[in-house]
């Protein structure tokens, strides 16, 4: 599935639409450069999962993970500052990746070897200041 989003709102709506296909235990690996729209897409997933006030979903860069309640839990990881995966080992990442909610991982390419064999890969690319290319694959 591929889409060109023409605005922040469009990226959020595409994320919300995608979220309707997610189920407990799904893992979503977000791939893209800084400013590609990973956190904005995550806001859309939160909206689609029924998280109250998804506008408050933001990047957990300094804390690595944030949890939100919706239809089921949303575990939002941001691995931008992570070097290696020893920090994840210390926090029992498997409980999240294989847990009872949906796990969304920004900068997931840093931990490809730890991702579940079956997961969603979402590649985001900035086309210009407002437009984003978003491609979703089931791995």
Q: Tell me the pLDDT tens digit for each residue of 59-118.
A: 776 678 999 999 999 999 999 987 766 678 778 899 999 999 999 999 999 999 999 999
What predicted TM-score, i.e. pTM, was given to this entire model? 0.93
pLDDT value of position 86: 67
Which candidate, 98, 93, 100, places its Cα nearest to that of 116? 98
pLDDT value of position 63: 76
pLDDT value of position 81: 83
pLDDT value of position 133: 98
Domain count, the chain: 1
Domain range for 127 is: 2-138
Q: Which two tokens stand for residue 87?
A: 């920090």
Mean pLDDT to the nearest integer, 44-62: 87
Q: What span, in angstroms and rounded, lies between the C-alpha atoms of 85 and 45? A: 25
The strands making up 132-138's β-sheet, listed across from edge to edge, are 2-5, 132-138, 120-126, 27-31, 102-106, 74-78, 65-68
Q: What span, in angstroms and rounded, lies between the C-alpha atoms of 49 and 34? A: 25
pLDDT value of position 128: 96
CATH number of the domain encompassing residue 74: 3.40.50.300
């Amino acid at each position: 599935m591929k889409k060109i989003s023409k605005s922040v709102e469009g990226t959020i709506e595409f994320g919300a639409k995608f979220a309707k296909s997610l189920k407990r235990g799904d893992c979503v690996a977000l791939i893209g450069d800084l400013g590609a729209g990973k956190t904005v897409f995550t806001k859309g997933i939160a909206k689609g999962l029924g998280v109250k006030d998804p506008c408050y979903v933001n990047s957990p860069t300094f804390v690595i993970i944030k949890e939100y309640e919706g239809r089921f839990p949303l575990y939002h990881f941001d691995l931008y500052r992570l070097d290696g995966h020893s920090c994840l080992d210390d926090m029992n990442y498997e409980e999240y990746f294989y847990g009872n909610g949906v796990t969304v991982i920004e900068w997931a390419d840093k931990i490809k070897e730890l991702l579940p064999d079956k997961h969603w890969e979402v590649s985001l690319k900035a086309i210009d200041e407002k437009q984003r290319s978003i491609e979703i694959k089931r791995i």
